[in-house]
């Protein structure tokens, strides 16, 4: 009986592996410019550092106010495995284990040669920085405000046959020769910042909500230098075509109309060095920032992540 079960499990594994292999080896690109690694499994050890900054400048009836807030930088260690194009990973946050940083961040990334998407959700309680209004200066300490943000960036690469985002960011492809591509993309940036009346009953009650959707275009390029080095740079600005913003101070809510034009910008960069066909190392940088506001308020938000990695193909 055990031998029969083992045989059935093995048969199902072989079938699944065959399907994944056929999908993995399907050629939809120019093989003079892009290729697949010869191995089945890729393992990567990654060190990640991320942060965000929120700047606001408000003008009301001749009075001015500003805030320059940032989150505590978040550092994680992670290990990832890619088998025939299917990726899974596990991350560890040393700051969370020690109790120093209880921020929560979720990153979901999916890249193909033609299209891809980044989804980032941040729930932070470490927002802090100087705040001033009408000559009154205060410092917002960590724990006095909560911030929740959702960022979605998607792209479509017109030259996906010769230009590979995955070669620069997931290493599931290999860029053989330099190539670039015009890009079209969608962006969403939304969230809220608020303090807690329950925690700080004497503090000014403040709630800022932002929600923006944009479409636009940009350009990306993969530089292949020699036989071992790949350098990627890309920029994808999107024009905000729909928004929903408001600010509430001590229970009084005011909707904010943004001026035209407002932008959400996504910048990406990557360096990958292949020691040989088996070992590689590198670093990536991704940042989303906004240029938003109207005649009475300007808002600039930046979210960035730096990742260094070391990989092996088996």
Helix boundaries (H) for the chain: 2-25, 94-98, 165-169
Model confidence pLDDT, tens digit, residues 130-175: 888 777 787 878 877 788 899 999 999 999 999 999 999 989 899 9
- Written as six digits, the tokens of 311 are 């990989």
Tokens coding 249: 């101070």
DSSP letter assigned to residue 276: S
**pLDDT tens across 240-271, in order?**
998 887 777 777 777 766 677 889 999 999 99
Which residue's structure tokens are 């993969």? 222
Omega before 71 within 30 of 0, i.e. cis: no
| 125 Cβ contact list (under 8 Å, min separation 6) | 102, 103, 142, 143, 146
Task: Return the structure tokens found at 189.
Answer: 């940036």
Q: pLDDT grade, residue 108 (50/70/90)?
A: confident
pLDDT reported for residue 146:
83
Q: Hey, what are 111's tokens?
A: 């890249």
Cβ neighbours around 98 below 10 Å, total:
8
300 Cβ contact list (under 8 Å, min separation 6): 53, 54, 55, 56, 289, 290, 291, 292
Whole-angstrom Cα distance, residue 65 to residue 251?
18
Of 99-103, 178-182, 196-200, 299-303, highest mean pLDDT: 178-182
Tokens of 181: 């591509």
DSSP code of residue 199: T
CATH number belonging to domain 2-313:
2.40.128
Count of all residues that appear for the chain in the document: 314
Cβ atoms of 314 and 280 closer than 8 Å: no
């Amino acid at each position: 009986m055990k031998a029969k079960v083992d045989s059935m499990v093995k048969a199902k594994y072989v079938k699944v592996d065959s399907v994944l292999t056929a999908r993995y080896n399907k050629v939809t690109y120019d093989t003079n410019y892009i290729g697949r690694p010869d191995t089945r499994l890729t393992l990567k050890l990654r060190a990640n550092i991320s942060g965000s900054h929120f700047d606001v400048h408000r003008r009301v009836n001749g009075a001015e106010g500003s805030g320059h807030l940032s989150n505590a930088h978040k550092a994680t260690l992670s290990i990832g495995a890619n088998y025939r194009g299917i990726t899974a990973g596990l991350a560890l946050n040393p700051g969370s284990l020690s109790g120093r940083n209880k921020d929560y961040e979720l990153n979901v990334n999916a890249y193909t040669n033609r299209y891809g998407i980044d989804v980032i959700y941040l729930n932070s309680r470490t927002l802090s920085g100087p705040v001033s209004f009408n000559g009154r200066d205060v410092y917002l300490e960590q724990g006095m405000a909560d911030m929740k943000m959702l960022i979605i960036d998607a792209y479509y690469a017109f030259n996906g046959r010769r230009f590979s985002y995955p070669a620069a960011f997931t290493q599931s492809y290999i860029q053989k020769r330099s190539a670039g591509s015009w890009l079209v993309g969608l962006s969403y940036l939304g969230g809220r910042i608020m303090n807690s009346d329950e925690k700080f009953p004497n503090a000014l009650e403040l709630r800022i909500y932002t929600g923006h959707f944009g479409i636009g275009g940009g350009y990306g390029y993969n530089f292949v230098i020699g036989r071992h080095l790949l350098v990627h740079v890309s920029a994808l600005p999107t024009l905000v075509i729909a928004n929903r913003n408001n600010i509430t101070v001590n229970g009084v809510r005011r909707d904010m109309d943004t001026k035209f034009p407002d932008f959400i910008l996504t910048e990406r960069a990557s360096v990958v060095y292949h020691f040989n066909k088996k070992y590689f190392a590198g670093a990536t940088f991704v940042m989303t920032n906004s240029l938003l506001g109207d005649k009475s308020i300007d808002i600039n938000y930046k979210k960035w992540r730096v990742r260094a990695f070391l990989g092996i193909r088996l």
